[in-house]
């Protein structure tokens, strides 16, 4: 650190573009920086001194023990903590500390940076840490004025089966509810945490038997992004994660270039459907956009749910709209109830099949990069649990009535539909 340039009120110390501050008690540096529209930097320079604490208005007992915990350097502000009143971990600080970690009894010493127009690639990697039961920020980023950003890569690994209770969230441009929220396997088109590996497309895949899910789905934002992770049951060790993004990167699908103001929403549906029941996996009332990627997970009493057809309705179209498939497996570019077995191909995949307790368990994915499902004034993306034939033996044409194709049962369904709008 070079000479002190300015000491501001509200307990911050500024060196050029760098701001040092104390978080609130129990708050991470990622959160402390983000709420000030700054970017957390993992490199904290203390010169093995408690001077920064004192400059920030902290009167403490200087504890010269070397750094030992992710929430350090920090000040213990809770009287119930045995180290109350101490400044901890400011000697032998590693070259980088984790921005997103917090501890309930301390205030962290944080380094924050102003958004930079010269920064093109940004991101963070976290190794051999803890996936917490409490949602925490693994990465946050503010853009410089005039720029837009695109998140381009996510990868994680953790011991087997732990990720089935993991949730990843992307909060775009200050939103209170994440537009993108997913379980890592389902984000790759795989249901029931199927551990087949290795396999991959340019967009999604799995590189090892344990964890190692990745996706390169483009998530655009205009001002800021916050990426959080959470285990919904308990803290889990052995967690690794990488997130990455790019400034001012155009999003192309074939010859189609999306507007720079495009927004991505992961539209999820989960519930139980009775035989022959329809469901709107996507229902957008107005505006333009495209469906990019769709995943279906089903458990059912038999395979006759695969008779169900997909339909797309735009501009208040009458039935049958655009018939996207003449059966569920047809939508995934297969046929005859996937009689060639499971596959992971660039456009579509049949990613899980199992039988247990008299139930069928199934998942599949389909990308619409080469044949985008586009709309100009809203759309409905519809599936049916089973389907019927008309009197001529043609399926998918009867909205009601008709001759049942097989004997579909009730089905428990999860759907992920990745939709760009502009």
Q: What is the pLDDT of residues 287-339, one digit of tens each?
A: 999 999 999 999 999 999 999 999 999 988 999 999 999 999 999 999 999 99
Torsion, CA 314, CA 320, CA 323, CA 326, rounded to 10: 160
Beta strands at 86-88 and 61-62: parallel, antiparallel or unpaired: parallel
Q: What DSSP designation does 249 have? A: P
In 190-273, the DSSP E strands lie at: 199-200, 204-206, 213-215, 219-221, 224-231, 236-247, 252-253, 256-257, 263-273
Task: Specify the pTM.
Answer: 0.94
User: Rounded to an integer, what distance in angstroms lies between the CA atom of residue 151 and that of residue 243?
Assistant: 8
Nearest residue to 289 (alpha-carbon basis) of 181, 371, 381, 378: 378
Beta strands at 224-231 and 136-142: parallel, antiparallel or unpaired: antiparallel
Nearest residue to 204 (alpha-carbon basis) of 225, 183, 223, 224: 183
CB 242 within 8 A of CB 155: yes
Mean pLDDT of the chain: 95
Q: What DSSP designation does 395 have? A: B
CB 391 within 8 A of CB 248: no
Least confident of 108-122, 167-181, 262-276: 108-122
Q: What is the pLDDT of residues 227-276, one digit of tens each?
A: 999 999 999 999 999 999 999 999 999 889 999 999 999 999 999 999 99
Nearest residue to 290 (alpha-carbon basis) of 383, 378, 180: 378
Other C-beta atoms within 10 Å of 155: how many? 19
Beta strands at 263-273 and 373-375: parallel, antiparallel or unpaired: unpaired
User: Rounded to an integer, what distance in angstroms lies between the CA atom of residue 42 and that of residue 112?
Assistant: 9
118 pLDDT above the threshold of 90: no
């Amino acid at each position: 650190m070079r000479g002190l340039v300015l000491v501001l009120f509200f307990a911050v110390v500024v060196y050029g573009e760098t701001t040092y501050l104390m978080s609130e008690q129990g708050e991470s540096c990622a959160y402390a920086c983000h709420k000030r529209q700054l970017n957390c930097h993992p490199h904290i320079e203390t010169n093995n001194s408690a001077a920064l604490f004192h400059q920030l208005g902290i009167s403490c007992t200087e504890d010269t023990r070397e750094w030992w915990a992710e929430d350090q350097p920090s000040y213990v502000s809770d009287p119930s903590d045995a180290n109350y009143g101490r400044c901890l971990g400011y000697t032998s600080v590693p070259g980088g500390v984790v921005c997103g970690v917090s501890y309930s009894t301390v205030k962290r010493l944080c380094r924050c940076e102003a958004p930079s127009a010269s920064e093109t690639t940004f991101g963070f990697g976290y190794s051999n840490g803890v996936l917490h039961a409490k949602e925490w920020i693994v990465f946050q980023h503010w853009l410089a004025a005039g720029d837009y950003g695109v998140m381009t890569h996510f990868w994680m690994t953790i011991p087997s089966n732990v990720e089935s209770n993991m949730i990843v969230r992307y909060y775009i441009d200050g939103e209170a509810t994440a537009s993108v929220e997913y379980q890592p396997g389902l984000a790759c088109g795989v249901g029931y945490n199927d551990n087949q590996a290795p396999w991959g497309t340019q967009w999604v895949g799995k590189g090892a038997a344990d964890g190692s899910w990745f996706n390169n789905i483009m998530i655009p934002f205009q001002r800021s992004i916050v990426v959080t992770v959470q285990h919904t049951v308990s803290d889990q060790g052995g967690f690794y994660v990488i997130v990455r993004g790019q400034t001012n990167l155009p999003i192309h699908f074939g010859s189609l270039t999306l507007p720079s103001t495009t927004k991505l929403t992961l539209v999820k549906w989960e519930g139980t459907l009775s035989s022959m029941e329809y469901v709107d996996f996507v229902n957008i009332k107005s505006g333009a956009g495209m469906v990019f990627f769709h995943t279906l997970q089903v458990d059912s009493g038999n395979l006759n749910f695969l008779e169900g057809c997909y339909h797309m309705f735009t501009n208040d179209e009458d039935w049958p709209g655009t018939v996207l498939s003449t059966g569920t497996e047809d939508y995934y570019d297969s046929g005859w109830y996937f009689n060639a077995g499971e596959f992971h191909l660039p456009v579509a995949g049949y990613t899980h099949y199992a039988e247990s307790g008299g139930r069928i368990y199934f998942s599949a994915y389909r990308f619409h990069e080469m044949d985008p499902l586009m709309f100009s004034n809203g759309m409905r993306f519809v599936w049916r649990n089973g389907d019927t034939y008309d009197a001529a033996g043609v399926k998918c044409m009867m909205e009601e009535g008709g001759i049942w194709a097989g004997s579909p049962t009730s089905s428990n369904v999860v759907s992920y539909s990745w939709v760009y709008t502009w």
